[in-house]
Structure 1
Amino acid sequence: MMILRRIARATLFAAALLLAASPARAREVVDMSGRTITLPADIHRVYGAFSSAVAIMAAIAPDLLAGSYFDTTPDLARFLPPGFAALPRLSVSGIQTTNPEQLMAAGIDLGVVLDGTGLSEQVRATMARLGRPAVAVAAERLEQYPATFRFLGAVLQRPERGEALARYLEETGARVAAALRDLPDGQRPRVYYAESPDGLQSQCDGSARAEVIGLAGGRNVLHCAAANSFAATATMTAETVLLLDPDVILVRFPRTATMFLTEPRWQTLAAVRSRRVLVVPSLPFNWMDRPPSYMRIMGVQWLAGRLHPDRYRIDLPAETRAFFRLFFGVALTDADLHLLFAGTAAP
């Protein structure tokens, strides 16, 4: 009888330990792809699948990130939350890939994927095999980010944080739109986006990757029939760029700006003659593309101020400081601002 009582007590104690170790209350949410997802009660480690998801988590809950796809240079680290530079480097092979062993070693509780991509479906399948849920967020267009931050604020039980980020995006976007309202097409500069180092890869006017141009009051010179998607990449010839003859050229790489400004074949371009070749700011993440993220709100303000200084009057250093303080908890110095904007215009 005594032995039976001891066995009973041991069984009850073991059951109590299992109960204490299990989630106190799992939650169900409908993610931004419309799927019902069961979340653990406690979320301590989050896997951001793809660079855009890592960027989202860097703003709303950097302390929960399990890893990063970014090579964290000293220049990058100074613009991001403390601890980001120490995150494990997630494996990348050609495209951003999911390494199951790496994810399990990181102790992830949740994955964040992007809605509407085939790669996200692959990640979901991998997460399911690991017994971990994944939620999808909408991150194709800048206008989707307020809802994304509110959704993740609810998922991660940080609603105030999600709301603060969402409201900044909404209010700032509305302010730029109001300044450019009723802007005639004839006053919208014709802009070419040179996405590749050689300047010959670009994005069509319907591509989300180039939406900063239109939101900032420009016209993308590269019009493509039926191109209205996340990425509508086009490879150009030098002759085509010369025929397009843009008023402004945006480039991702400083060396591309140097190429346009110095090589003889480009000297007839209106943008080159007026020295309106602009390097898009790229810290901590590119302000326009690759990865496309909420940093586009800063890209819109920066470009609107360059294209329409009479309509959109902005104290860009002050606005940049306010943005980085809110999104990353970073107080920018004058040296930081110099690094951000050095080389963003033709010398």
Structure 2
Amino acid sequence: MMFNQKSIQLIVAVAVFLAFNVCVRNIAEAATITDMAGRTVTIPDTVRKVYAPSPYGSYIMYSVDPSILAGLIFPIRDEDKKYFPKETQNLPVIGSLFGQGQTANTEVLLKTNPDLLIMWSAKRSAINEKTEESLKKLNVPFVYAVAESLSDYPDVYLFLGKVLKREERTKQLSAYCKKTLDEIKVTVNKIPAEKRPSVYYAEGMDGLSTECNDSIHVELLELAGDKNVHRCHTSNHKGFEKVSLEQVILYNPDIIVAQEKVFFDKVFNDPAWQNVKAVKDGRVYLIPRHPFNWFDRPPSFMRIMGLKWLANILYPKEYKIDMVKDARDFYRLFLCVELSNDEMKRAIYP
């Protein structure tokens, strides 16, 4: 097929026009933001699909908008599927990209074609250069949400709302978090330190693992009065500090909050634990864990409800709430699920 000079000029002109329009469209469809780590990032103006390759980021996205998730970091347990839309349940399991327990399938991740990765950091100054270099190789823009403590969650929600254009929803979630944190602070401040009950956090099947008072895994205890009996400096992020039963007896806590149902179910009938005040007084409580743990492992947005639960246990006269009603309201707002009173009771008191 032959082209004359005019035809060639026309083709070139059309090609230049189309290329220009593509560039203009790309510019128009891009937005420049500053993420919570202070990085300037260019992201798509409209984010249709995201992936958060850590439990913290992945879980918070369930509350922001699970419909835009590209995949899951962990499979959803059968007993928890009722808390999620069918579309979310059927997403591919991609896993975690970095850190301990790295399981991510980068091939599956790239096949899902996310517009954006939401990274999570516990410190603004702790962004890892090697991690950044690895992320850049994926050729997917990424932003950092930063939460040094639960008190940062209101700001994290506002940041994600801005990035994902879900501002109306995230303002509601942020306001709920802030209101709860403020309520607990006011309640605790009214109670002298010496009148606050002491607490032992029982982890493991035998209840003989716990956390130092400065660990992220017991941040709720700090916010609810800072009466964790195990006073020490945490040895590592993983936690699970081993203690002896003799040490727990010496601590003689007023209250025990338990992570494992196996331990909870046997502690009241175990002769070895009968000399512990919390056991004698019947004040051992199993932490709710559906669909995510209210207290820890991983620390997530569910701790906002967990903080209300804990404050009500520690200060039932000063912090009076209808636990079932408040939990139903929380699940309705954060997870968009409507539970009956009986369903909610089973989740709180398994």
* TM > 0.5 fold call: yes
Match of 2:47 in 1: 43
Shift of 1:249: 1.1
Q: Is 1:107 paired with 2:113?
A: yes
Distance 1:248 1:152 in 2: 37
1:274 corresponding residue in structure 2: 281
Structure 1 contact 140–230 (Cα < 8 Å) conserved: no
Question: Does the CA contact (< 8 Å) of 1:49 and 1:123 recur in 2?
Answer: no
User: What is the match of residue 309 of structure 2?
Assistant: 302
CA positional deviation for 1:184: 1.4
Which of 171, 179, 183 pairs up with 2:187? 179
Moved more, 213-222 or 93-102: 93-102
Q: Distance in 2 between matches of 1:115 and 1:89?
A: 22
Q: Distance in 1 between matches of 2:275 and 2:213?
A: 23
Number of residue equivalences:
342
Equivalence for 2:178: 170
* Residues 66-99 of structure 1 deviation map (CA, whole Å, 9 limit, x = unaligned): 1112321232122235532122112369613443
Q: Which amino acid aligns with 2:178?
A: E
For the residues of structure 2 that align with 1:197 and 1:139, how far apart are their CA atoms?
30
Unpaired segments ≥5 residues, structure 1: none
Range 239-248 or range 86-95, more displaced:
86-95
Q: In 2, Cα distance between the equivalents of 1:116 and 1:292?
A: 11
* Equivalent-residue separation in structure 2 for 1:296 and 1:63 (angstroms): 23
Q: How far apart in 2 are the matches of 1:33 and 1:289?
A: 24
Out of 45-54 and 67-76, give the one that drifted further.
67-76
Distance apart, 1:330 and its partner CA: 1.1
The answer as to 2:254 corresponding to 1:250 is no
Provide the secondary structure at the position in 2 that maps to 1:39: strand
> Post-superposition shift, 1:275?
1.8
For residues 315 and 236 of structure 2, the distance between their equivalents in structure 1, rounded to whole angstroms, comes to 27
- How far apart are the structure 1 equivalents of 2:293 and 2:127? 22
Per the alignment, residue 147 of structure 1 pairs with 155
Comparing 263-272 and 309-318, the one that deviates more:
263-272
Please tell me the residue identity of whatever aligns with 1:173.
L
2:81 to 77, 83, 98: 77
TM-score, structure 1 normalization: 0.89
Q: Which runs of 5 or more residues in structure 2 are unaligned?
A: none
In structure 2, the CA distance between the partners of 1:90 and 1:39, relative to structure 1 (3 Å rule), is same
Q: Distance in 1 between matches of 2:131 and 2:326?
A: 37
Could you tell me which of 111, 128, 137 is aligned with 2:136?
128
Deviation (angstroms), 1:122: 5.2
What amino acid is the match of 2:201?
Y
1:23-38 paired onto structure 2 within 5 Å: 24-38=28-42
2:115, 2:140 within 8 Å by CA — same for their partners in 1?
A: yes
Residue 216 of structure 2: aligned partner: 208
Shift in Å, 1:339? 2.2
Worse-matched range after superposition: 98-107 or 76-85: 76-85
